[in-house]
Structures are given as structure tokens and as C-alpha cells.
Amino acid sequence: MTDQDHGSAGIPRSGRVLGLDWGTSRIGVAITDATQLIATPLTTLRRRAGKRLPLRAFLEIVEKEEPVGLVVGLPFDELGIEGASADAARTMGDHFADRSGLPIEWIDESFSTVDAQHALRDAGRTRAERAADIDAASAAVTLTRWIEMRRAESHQ
């Protein structure tokens, strides 16, 4: 289930949506197409642990891609409980949404990295290529789950 913030209207049903996969040193970024049917890895934002979030780089992506919303994956533990990493992801998401003015939704990102690793391996990527692409690929996996959940909710 998704959790919405930043505006009662939520994310519009058409237009590109950015997806973020939080990490302490890397933030994976993915984007949907305008019809919100396909999620594609876009890039990885880097930062040194303990340093500021890469807000400028994020806002440059927003300016270039013109998304209508933001989906942030929340890492849950094995029991489905939000821990420190989920708190950090929420802080990042809130900050990025506030600065960009985008509506935000949250989604469970459990096992997105594992699924992304399998997809990259199945695509024949080398170990070095997988390491370079994993964060953006994980964001695309999470964003794909959001697309599927949203589609299922609209058919109920």
C-alpha cells in the first residue's frame, strides 16, 4: 500500500514520475514514461555519508525531466517495521518534495535490490556494470511496483 503526503490530490494519473531508492552514499533515481506504464533507471545521485543531500543534482533532474510526482521507497526490516533507514528515506523524500513542490508517495521497497540484481544478471551485465547500475535499477523496480499497485487500486 502507498502512503501519500504533500497535497490531498496526490500524484496525477498522467505525466512522468520520479522514483528514489535511498542509500547512505547513493540514491538511485528512476522515471516513468508519461503514461506511467514503464519505469526506467535514470541515474544515481552520490553523496558522502554525513554530508548534505544532493539537492542541486535532484532539482536539475526535476527541471530537465518535468515530473508530476515523486515516489520514495522505504526500507522495512524482516518484520515489516520501519527503522533508521526508513526514517532517513522519509527525511530525504520530504526535503526533496518540499524543495521541488512535487507531491510524494511512499512505498515498501523490500527486496528491490535483490530483484534488480537478478534482472541485471539476467540481462548479461558484468559484475562491474551491475555494481554501477544497481541503485537506479532498484529505483526502477520500486517504481514498477508503485505502477502495478496504482493500476490494481484503480481497478477495484
Domains in the chain: ranges and CATH: 3-154 (3.30.420.140)
DSSP 53: P
CA–CA distance, 137 with 103 (Å, rounded to integer): 22
- Residue 3 pLDDT: 52
Q: Are 137 and 120 in contact (CB under 8 A)?
A: yes
- Residue 79 pLDDT: 79
- Residue 63 pLDDT: 98
- Residue 6 pLDDT: 39
Report residues of the chain scoring pLDDT below 70: 1-9, 110-133
Q: How far is CA 20 from CA 51, 52, 124, 139, in A?
A: 18, 16, 24, 5
- Residue 122 pLDDT: 64
